[in-house]
Amino acid sequence: MSTPQHRIRTLVQTLNRYAHEYYTLDAPSVPDAEYDRLYRELEAMEAEYPQFRLPESPTQRVGGAVLDGFETVVHAVPMLSLNNAFSPRDDETGAFDHAEFLAFDERVCKELGVAQVEYAAEPKFDGLAVSLLYQNGILVQAATRGDGTTGENVTENIKTVRNIPLKLHGEKQPALLEVRGEVLMLKADFAALNQRQLAANQKPFVNPRNAAAGSLRQLDSKITAQRKLHFFAYGIAQLSGAERLPESHMEELALLHELGFSLPEGYFGAYTGAAAVLREYERLAEHRPRLPYEIDGMVVKVNSLAEQQQLGFVSRAPRWAIAHKFPAEEALTTVEAIDVQVGRTGAVTPVARLAPVFVGGVTVTNATLHNQDEVARKDVRVGDTVVVRRAGDVIPEVVRVLLERRPMVEKQPALGGDLFSGSLEPLHEPFRLPETCPVCGSAVEREAGEAVARCTGGMLC
Ligand code: IVH
């Protein structure tokens, strides 16, 4: 017969294993209903025997009391930043110019007195840096980066992040482990969250990074629990009482994986020499739009920890690592005109003509506005300052308008009204699709339930 204490322990272990299979390994071994059944049993047992509740119980992930504010945490090891290297692309050929990265590699080789260095490369996640502290295998504190020296205590919120272990995996747990990594929101979860925001008449989030930041910095961790956040580990800041100490960055990552942390599967590895690193950079840049999370570059680190130590730090950044950035996918520009294009199928598409802007690695002068509903929803007008986005080979699009920069004029006083009312109105009218095709003059029509308007001229245009 199992005692209540024993049963609770078994349930916690089983549920944590199922959750790890689901959230970290992407390989669930039981149907959701089975997980739910055991979870309810655990909830009931914990209510009856609160003295046997475990700190790593999955019931600790739903959020707790509402805080008045976040406590300050002093980082035992400062959270530093990285120096950047950019690789601008040739407008015509698209070829990368890697001079900045090559200069970094040359400095490293010279300093170490070698011809070639072994590097570790991984994505530069576009989220928020956090630090997780485990004592004897149990998550005891989580903090944001803050100014690098002190951050905010977000332990309750971090516990709601499903792929962060509340208890480290394996038999032998280190006495102390401080994990560094990035909290982010997957692109799909971000899109779903914004759908819900819009449906509830609330402001959508600007991008996944902002949504992740807003979700992590909630004083009410129950709200964080409803936002799906994700964590990727990228380093160890402190480790003691471990069986064996890693000697390279790759060994650190391997250990973190064994302890239950998610790594960017398929996108991290060791590469010898600059040329091999650059091949990986170009591969990652190409895969970037298809990744389920946003990245803004590749972080390249000298793999050997001994060599890292030899290189040391300069001001607030390591000399053994660099953020090899990708071209920004978003930029600001202004709308010079809004035209319509008629496609081969007769689809009439509004197109923004833009002041030329360098985005996603190329100069962009046009961006699609998709259809009338989209123009109306975003309220894009001539003269507006807009955010344009070009991700990979996807057609550039206007993401949103900076309404505070919209050109305005003084409102014409109404007949018989005050001569000067002092109020302003937009210089330009909202855009409307023309009623006739600009190519053949036939009527433009939109079928009920359809987003796309079409020229009715058949094959004429
Ligand atoms: S390592 C001492 N690895 O980049 C080096 N940082 O500019 C510590 N970041 O605030 C950082 N992905 O949030 C490292 N794979 C990665 C990263 C990464 C994103 C962020 C991190 C930090 C910033 C440094």
pLDDT tens for each residue of 258-282: 999 999 999 999 999 999 999 999 9
Give the amino acid at 327.
P
**Does residue 197 surpass a pLDDT of 80?**
yes
Confidence of residue 315 (pLDDT cuts 50, 70, 90): confident
Confidence of residue 391 (pLDDT cuts 50, 70, 90): confident
Q: Give every strand in the sheet of 230-240, ordered side by side.
A: 138-144, 128-135, 176-184, 230-240
- In the reported structure, the alpha carbon of residue 244 is separated from the centroid of ligand 1 by a whole-number distance in angstroms of 25
Ligand 1 mutation target, pool 82, 280, 326, most atoms within 8 A of CB = 82
How confident is the model at residue 30, as a pLDDT? Answer: 94
Return the closest-CA partner of residue 172 out of 284, 289, 255, 62. 255
> Any idea which residue has 């959701």 for tokens?
32
Mean predicted confidence (pLDDT) in 180-196: 96
**Does residue 415 surpass a pLDDT of 90?**
no
Give the amino acid at 36.
D
Residues in contact with ligand 1 (CB, 6 Å cut-off): 80-82, 122, 124-125, 129, 145, 182, 234-235, 299, 318, 321, 323
- Among the listed residues 124, 228, 301, 325, the single catalytic one is 124
Say how far apart CA 294 and CA 127 lie, in whole Å: 8
Confidence of residue 418 (pLDDT cuts 50, 70, 90): low
**Does residue 459 surpass a pLDDT of 80?**
no
Confidence of residue 361 (pLDDT cuts 50, 70, 90): confident
Ligand 1 mutation target, pool 125, 238, 311, most atoms within 8 A of CB = 125
Mean predicted confidence (pLDDT) in 291-298: 96
Mean predicted confidence (pLDDT) in 352-363: 91
Mean predicted confidence (pLDDT) in 400-424: 80
How confident is the model at residue 394, as a pLDDT? Answer: 83
Of 260-274, 330-344, 346-360, 407-421, minimum mean pLDDT range: 407-421
Mean predicted confidence (pLDDT) in 421-439: 88
Tell me, yes or no, if 110 is annotated catalytic: no
- In the reported structure, the alpha carbon of residue 302 is separated from the centroid of ligand 1 by a whole-number distance in angstroms of 14
Say how far apart CA 162 and CA 178 lie, in whole Å: 18
Q: Rounded to 5 degrees, what angle do the CA atoms 16, 136, 124 make?
A: 70
- Higher pLDDT pick, 84 / 206: 84
Task: Tell me the pairing of strands 321-325 and 84-85.
Answer: parallel
Which ligand 1 atom lies nearest to the CA of residue 82? 7
- In the reported structure, the alpha carbon of residue 437 is separated from the centroid of ligand 1 by a whole-number distance in angstroms of 52
Q: Are 249 and 233 in contact (CB under 8 A)?
A: no
Q: 99-112 and 274-287 are packed helices; what angle lies between their axes, rounded to 10 degrees?
A: 140
Whose Cα sits closest to atom 2 in ligand 1? Answer: 80
- In the reported structure, the alpha carbon of residue 231 is separated from the centroid of ligand 1 by a whole-number distance in angstroms of 13
Q: 4-23 and 32-48 are packed helices; what angle lies between their axes, rounded to 10 degrees?
A: 150
* Those residues with Cβ within 8 angstroms of residue 440's Cβ, 6 or more apart along the chain or in another chain: 455, 457, 460, 461
Mean predicted confidence (pLDDT) in 154-170: 97
Q: Are 172 and 243 in contact (CB under 8 A)?
A: yes
Which ligand 1 atom lies nearest to the CA of residue 84? 7
- In the reported structure, the alpha carbon of residue 356 is separated from the centroid of ligand 1 by a whole-number distance in angstroms of 32
Whose Cα sits closest to atom 18 in ligand 1? Answer: 124
Mean predicted confidence (pLDDT) in 320-333: 93
Condensed to tens digits (0 to 9), the pLDDT of residues 76-124 reads 999 999 999 999 888 788 889 999 999 999 999 999 999 999 999 999 9
Return the closest-CA partner of residue 87 out of 75, 79, 77, 95. 95
Return the closest-CA partner of residue 111 out of 286, 319, 262, 295. 319
**Does residue 3 surpass a pLDDT of 90?**
yes
Q: Rounded to 5 degrees, what angle do the CA atoms 229, 230, 233 make?
A: 145
Confidence of residue 345 (pLDDT cuts 50, 70, 90): confident
- In the reported structure, the alpha carbon of residue 275 is separated from the centroid of ligand 1 by a whole-number distance in angstroms of 22
**Does residue 313 surpass a pLDDT of 90?**
yes
Q: 208-216 and 187-199 are packed helices; what angle lies between their axes, rounded to 10 degrees?
A: 80
Give the amino acid at 461.
C
Q: Are 436 and 442 in contact (CB under 8 A)?
A: yes
Whose Cα sits closest to atom 9 in ligand 1? Answer: 124
**Does residue 414 surpass a pLDDT of 70?**
no
Return the closest-CA partner of residue 158 out of 127, 136, 187, 188. 127
Whose Cα sits closest to atom 13 in ligand 1? Answer: 129
How confident is the model at residue 331, as a pLDDT? Answer: 92
Mean predicted confidence (pLDDT) in 174-180: 98
How confident is the model at residue 327, as a pLDDT? Answer: 85
Q: Are 251 and 243 in contact (CB under 8 A)?
A: no
Say how far apart CA 446 and CA 424 lie, in whole Å: 34
Query: What is the gyration radius of the CA atoms in the chain, in angstroms?
Result: 27
> Any idea which residue has 């011809």 for tokens?
115
